[in-house]
Amino acid sequence: MGQSSETADGSPLRQLDELDVIVDTDAHIRETVEDLIPYIDDRYEGAKWIVERTEHPERDIYSLTHSLPPSLHAERGGWSADTNTVDKKLQELDEFNIDYGIVDPGLNLVLPTVNNERIAVAMMNAYNSWLLDNFLDEGNHRLKANLLVSHHKPDKSAEEIDRLANEKDVVGVALPSTGVIPPVGHERYDPIYQAASDHDLPVFFHGASTNTSHVFPLQRMYNQTYTEDHVIIHPFSQMWNLSSLIFQGAPERFPDLDFVFQESGVGWIPYLMWRMDDHYLEMNYELPLLQQMPSDYIHDQIYFTTQPLGHTEDNPKHLAMAIEMAGPDNIMYSSDLPHSDFDPPSELFNRIRSHFDRETVENIMGKTAMDLVDL
């Protein structure tokens, strides 16, 4: 890593369009329950009967709750959040000159709030079938996708990975990670990790503020606004999950498996990494599964996506310094489109292009992702 945007031959990287490739590692789509009902497999006939007759499935099947309506936040942001067709998703990529988008679910980020395990598995299966049928087709290879898995039944999730891992343009596994009890380092999730490792698919962890009622009940009780909830829950849940993943030895159990933490930004990573290393050095007698420092596992097997960048325009070098401390080889650009607080590629590029050498900037904006998911 260098401290300048000069290349070996002295040519600077000045404009976004000079990049070789831009990859969005968190490109959401907006599936609805109505979209998924026709794709519920016949094995789950009873679950389908319940879901299609539920008047308010986002409340009565999913427990999708907020302190105040997030729809007001999206409305004020001025961005339409209705990306439920491949054409609309490709239009978003075109608008921001993004070459590839790795597709993640929208509604099903709150899959952990489904209390009925059979329905959760049915919706997981239906989402993946709908995804492949509507977004991954022979005429389009700019959209790649993560398969949705459910923490409710890790064995069923492993079967889902085995069923679809070899489908064209499937590049990873999406495990919604807020609302997951126990956290993601627990060995009960080993069937998911084993299946992902067998198929050489990284596991993506994505949080959601809507999932906090089970895991952070006191925070939810006293967070009286959507703002209070949303500010803390993404980093809080990812801190918990990353600590669990490392200290419970998942990277040791699956040394060939990569993990990606999405949509909590980068500012928290150096702090938690330093803190985990400090505790390992003080109390490694509690951690017999670990053969190296937590930060070493992070540098070897853990990746992070950049959105949200936060209010960093006034001091762009601070974001670049946070990325430098976190480890730029493990950082990947993400937009979070079509959410109203998305980050276009130019925002990240303009904050890092004068701090890092050209190769590092190219890697963060797309090449690291290309290597990770083998594009």
Q: What is the mean pLDDT of the chain?
A: 90
For the chain, which residues make up each domain, given as ranges?
A: 16-372
Check whether 323 has a pLDDT greater than 60.
yes
Structure tokens at 286: 């509690």
Q: Write out pLDDT tens, residues 91-119.
A: 999 999 999 999 999 999 999 999 999 99
pLDDT in tens, 148-160: 999 999 999 999 9
CATH of 16-372, one of 3.20.20.140, 3.10.450.50, 3.30.365.10, 3.40.640.10: 3.20.20.140
* Chain segment 4-28, per-residue pLDDT in tens: 555 444 466 779 999 999 999 999 9
Q: What was the pLDDT predicted at 313?
A: 84
In whole angstroms, how far apart are CA 320 and each of 44, 312, 326? 48, 10, 10
